[in-house]
Structure 1
Amino acid sequence: MTLLSVNVNKIAVLRNSRGGAEPDVVRAAQACLAAGAHGITVHPRPDLRHIRPDDVRALSSVTHAQGVELNVEGNPFAPPRSGYPGFLALCDEVRPAQATLVPDGDSQITSDHGFDFSRDTERLRPLVAELKAMGCRVSLFVDAGCEGLEHAAHIGADRIEIYTGPFAEAALAGDATGALALCQRTAQEARAFGLGVNAGHDLSQDNLGQFLANVPDVLEVSIGHALIGEALYAGLDTTVRRYLEILDGQVATGRRD
């Protein structure tokens, strides 16, 4: 079964928009876990626009106590700065089950592309080794249809995460055939090189069933923006459970009324 890791970044966005401590990121994560989510994902950025290092530390305590996985995403090339110790330093503190490396810059609203292995492989090699020495499973964010997946395996990565934003856009437009074919090819190539396959970005109740039906054997999906938006109407507990139904195959496609 594909596992669900809930990204709680958007809870922090709401909190930071007013200052203070509400809504509470830890409480939201606990609600998701109580509903059956298999793990929690966070993506702390150097500009502290949403999840902050102290949130990561607090969520690490929760996930370790409950025996579930914490997935910390981030740009390993971004230098430390005031309030942000750097991605590897933060991972060294909290020892997440999974570290997902993403080549996002400060100017990006959200992650929108994967690594270029022709350029990034040798820069990534020592960082992957450091994270694995910490006991982290390492996943690399990649574009569907990318070249050079063999390099991800050669430098010691355990998994890739397929960037599913283009698929979600195509599904919304009514024809995801081409985007799904690229995702299928990338997943097959990754598995041929001994890499596990994760997926994430803009997955929702409307498109998750279609994606998984066409890209089998995905180990984990991380879902945040859509899930938190849907939860504004239905609540976190109900929304998480609906995603789990999709993952269980009880709902073939899309959202239930």
Structure 2
Amino acid sequence: MTALSVNLNKIALLRNARGGHLPDVARAGRTCLEAGAHGLTVHPRPDARHIRADDVHVLAGLCAQRGVEFNIEGNPFAPPRPAYPGLLALCTSARPAQVTLVPDGDGQLTSDHGFDFHRDGEALRPLIAALRALGCRVSVFVDVGNPDLGLAAALGAQRVELYTGPYAEAFAAGDPEPALVAAAATARAAQSVGLAVNAGHDLDQANLGRFLAAVPNVQEVSIGHALIGEALYAGLSATVRAYRTIIDASAAL
């Protein structure tokens, strides 16, 4: 069955907009897990605009206590700075179950493209090895249609996360089928070279079921922005339970 990992970045963004400790990121994480989420995701950025290093350690402890997966996303090439020790340093101290490498520039509002493995591969190779030596599973963010998934596997990655933003846009425009066909083909190509498949970005309650029905053997979806937005209307626990209902139904197909 596909696992649901809830991304807590937007909770931290709301807290940071006012300062102080509210809303409480750890309490939100506990609420998501108690409602049925299989794990938690964070994407700390160098400017500390939302999730901070101290949040990472608190949430790592929560996930360890609950026996669930903690997934840290980040740009492995971003250098340390005063509020950000660097992705490898964070993972060394937090020991997440999974690290998802994403090629975000410092100024990016959100992740919007996958890696070019011909350009970045040799720089990624030692970082992937270092993360795996910590006991972390390593996933790399890829565009649907990436032709170099075999190279990703050769670099040591164990999973890919399909960037689903274009699918979400196509779904909203009423023509998702070509994007679904392409995503399914990319998933099969990844699996054929030994990579498991995750997915994330702009997935929501409206488009998730269709995606999981079309794309084979998705191991995990990481959902944050839409889930937190929907929770403003329906409540966090109810929203997580609604996502679990969609995922559980897809597993029964």
Match of 1:95 in 2: 95
CA distance in 2 between counterparts of 1:125 and 1:184 reads: 27
Deviations 1:155-190 (A, max 9, x none): 111100000000000000000112112211110000
Q: Which amino acid aligns with 2:132?
A: K
Mapped pair 1:147 → 2:141: no
Partner of residue 7, structure 2: 7
Secondary structure at the counterpart of residue 106 of structure 1: coil
Distance 2:32 2:7 in 1: 10
CA pair 249-20 structure 1, distance change in 2 beyond 3 A: same
| Counterpart in the other structure of 2:137 | 137
Q: Secondary structure at the match of 1:249?
A: helix
**Distance in 2 (alpha carbons) for counterparts of 1:196 and 1:78:** 26
Asked if residue 118 in structure 1 is aligned to residue 118 in structure 2, the reply is yes
TM-score by length of 2: 0.98
1:250 Cα shift?
7.1
Partner of 1:106: 106
Question: For the Cα contact (< 8 Å) 1:245–1:251, is it kept in 2?
Answer: no
Distance 2:150 2:82 in 1: 36
1:195 maps to: 195
Please report how far the alpha carbon of residue 84 of structure 1 lies from its aligned counterpart in structure 2 after TM superposition. 0.5
1: CA distance between counterparts of 2:11 and 2:126?
33
Shift of 1:251: 11
| Aligned residue-pair number | 252
Task: Give the conservation status (yes or no) of the 8 Å contact 1:39–1:68.
Answer: yes
CA shift digits 1:201-224 (9 cap, x unpaired): 000000000100110210000000
Change in Cα spacing, 1:183 to 1:251, as seen in structure 2 (3 Å) is closer
Q: How many Å separate the matches in 2 of 1:92 and 1:241?
A: 32
- Report the aligned-residue RMSD: 1.1
Contact 1:125 1:156 in 2 (8 A): yes
Contact 1:209 1:251 in 2 (8 A): no
For 1:66 and 1:248, how far apart are their aligned partners in 2? 21
> C-alpha offsets along residues 28-70 of structure 1, whole Å, 9 cap, x if unaligned?
0000000010000000000000000000000000000000010
Query: TM (normalized to structure 1)?
Result: 0.97
What is the CA–CA distance in structure 1 between the aligned matches of 2:70 and 2:34, rounded to whole Å?
15
How far off is 1:74 after superposition? 0.1
Unpaired stretches in structure 2, ≥5 consecutive residues:
none
Q: Which runs of 4+ in 1 moved over 3 A?
A: none
State whether structure 2 residue 168 is matched by structure 1 residue 176. Answer: no
Residue 215 of structure 2 corresponds to which residue in structure 1? 215
The gaps in structure 1 that reach 5 residues or longer are 253-257
